[in-house]
A and B are shown apart, each in its own frame.
Chain A
Amino acid sequence: MELDLVIQIWLASLFTIWIYSIAFRDNDFFKFAEYTFVGAAAGHSLVYGVDNLRRYGWDNLMGGAYLYIVVFLLGILLYSRYHPQYFWVSRYPLSIMVGIGIGLSMRAVVTAEFIAQIKSTAGIKLIGVSDPITLLSNLIFIILVVTTVYFFLFTFPKSHEGGLSIIPRIARYGMMAAFSYSFANTVLSRYNMIFGRLDYIYNQWLPLPGAIIALPVALILLIYAMLPPEKRPWPKKQ
């Protein structure tokens, strides 16, 4: 195995252990790993930022697309926000960016997120469905769509009172069930991530020479770092 890959696996494994140690208690190894990650991520973004300038801006400008001068100027104007007197100038490039973003989203958002969804919901059938499970599922779906839309009618306070209060209550149960589904899926995601890292340590790092000795050493040092200073066996406080 190449040396750079070996170093990469050692660092990745140790940083994984240090980062996950926060689950047990805060310690200096975790802080070191956290700060290193933040620094590395910032450096990575900076390098990519410069590369993007070259790839999408400078190369095109040098290729004869002189309109890119406007783009560069707008980009530079963004930094005027750090000047106490001329910070307002940065609002112009920012407004162009926001305008383009909203324009791009809006050209499809009505079709993609309103019409298609409403059509899909309106197309749910209750009559002519032979499978009882599908029929029940469709019925629950329709009830929950109607009640949940009703739940958010805040303009008429009386619509949530008296006998009508059953409607928002049904909606609340439905939404709680949906949130539970999301939360259960979140647990699944997190467990998958932990498994991925543990699998990496077990299958990539531990087979390397010295790793099987380094693991208990790293764990002992971690436990030591988690202890409050007055409980540490060494160095003894004067």
Chain B
Amino acid sequence: MSGQGKSIWDTLGDIPREVLYGVLLVVFVIPMIYPLGLPVPISANVLKWYKAVEDLPPGAVVMIDFGYSGGGEPELGPMAVAVYHHMLRRGDIKVICMSTSIEGPQLWDKAMAELRPEQRYGAVYGVDYINIGYIAGGETAMAAVGKDLRATTSTDYKGTPLDQYSIMDGIVDAHSFDLLICYTTGGDQSEGWVRQWYTVYGTPYMCSVLAMMVPTMLPYMNAGQIISVTSGAQAGEMEGLVHVPARGIKSADVITLTHMLCVVYVVIGNVAYIAKKFQGGSK
């Protein structure tokens, strides 16, 4: 091609990244300002998750692992908040939270600020819900909490002794829990809980992970080791089910349009590539 002008296919095949990202940014911003209200159909896994919480007996105790990092908050945060809404609205479920991620306690605080359990549901910290904080050690921590929770940590995330909270009465080990939920950005955590709790104690387990981790986790669900695997991107579906529209539903328009743009980019790149190949071959 030296000495010749660039053809239209060369231009299309070599669009500067600034232009691609610029157009992407515009497609992100427009539906945020002018929402389209695209429908959010409920998928089978989210329905299964919802049903698992709905079927919990009165007085059930749920362990939640806030195992995600700050980078994963925009995706997993809305799902965590929507599921908390579901459980606290029932009013007869006790929720104990821990973190296998070092940033977990701060992200839990952020979720509670959004949830406002006291004002909205009359839920009381230490009676209906609690956070026992970050427990170091990854899979070792999961095993230790499953074996003897009090021996692993004797205080909540604020440093107050667990004995002062009525929610902790009768909580000993993994057998004290009716359900385990994990939100995580790390495969070690989502798979670690299968190994350390489901396999050893048979605790029913569900996890919500980054969308990119879903293919890794699906075999566990197919084998019956996990009740339901969802991605944080499905938070809109959960918000629809629990009738608390928030960030998840708002993202539906944006995600749909940006993915359509992504397909357009792929088509342009491939058409340019094939056309250039065809031109080269015809010479």
Contact = CB atoms under 8 A, between A and B. Distances in A.
Nearest to B31: A195
Given A117-B219, A186-B212, A191 B231 contact: no
Nearest to B140: A104
Interface residues of B, number: 56
A44 B210 CA distance: 23
A236 interface: no
Contacts, number: 130
A196 B77 contact: yes
Interface in B211-234: 211-216, 219-220, 222-225, 231-233
Interface residues of A, number: 43
B200 to A, nearest CB: 6
A44 B105 CA distance: 12
A23 B21 contact: yes
Given A23-B21, A120-B224, A48 B143 contact: no
Interface string A181-223: 1100111110111111111101000000000000000000000
A196 B73 contact: yes
A37 B191 CA distance: 28
Contact of B32 (A56, A113, A188, A199): A199
Contacts of A200: 74
A45 interface: yes
Nearest to A100: B140
Given A101-B140, A195-B28, A198-B29, A116 B73 contact: no
Contacts of A52: 134, 136
A165 interface: no
Contacts of A66: none
Main SS class of interface, A: helix
A189 B231 contact: yes
Given A25-B18, A107-B200, A112-B199, A189 B254 contact: no
B212, B214, B220, most chain A CB atoms within 10 A: B212
A52 B198 CA distance: 27
Contact of A112 (B75, B198, B215): B198
B18 A195 contact: no
26 contacts: A48-B134, A52-B134, A52-B136, A55-B155, A104-B196, A108-B194, A108-B199, A112-B199, A112-B220, A113-B191, A116-B220, A116-B224, A116-B225, A178-B215, A187-B262, A188-B231, A188-B259, A189-B75, A189-B210, A192-B232, A193-B74, A194-B28, A195-B251, A195-B255, A196-B247, A199-B32
Interface of B: 17-18, 21-22, 28-29, 32-33, 71-75, 77, 102-103, 134, 136, 139-140, 143, 152-155, 191, 194-196, 198-200, 210-216, 219-220, 222-225, 231-233, 247, 250-251, 254-255, 258-259, 262
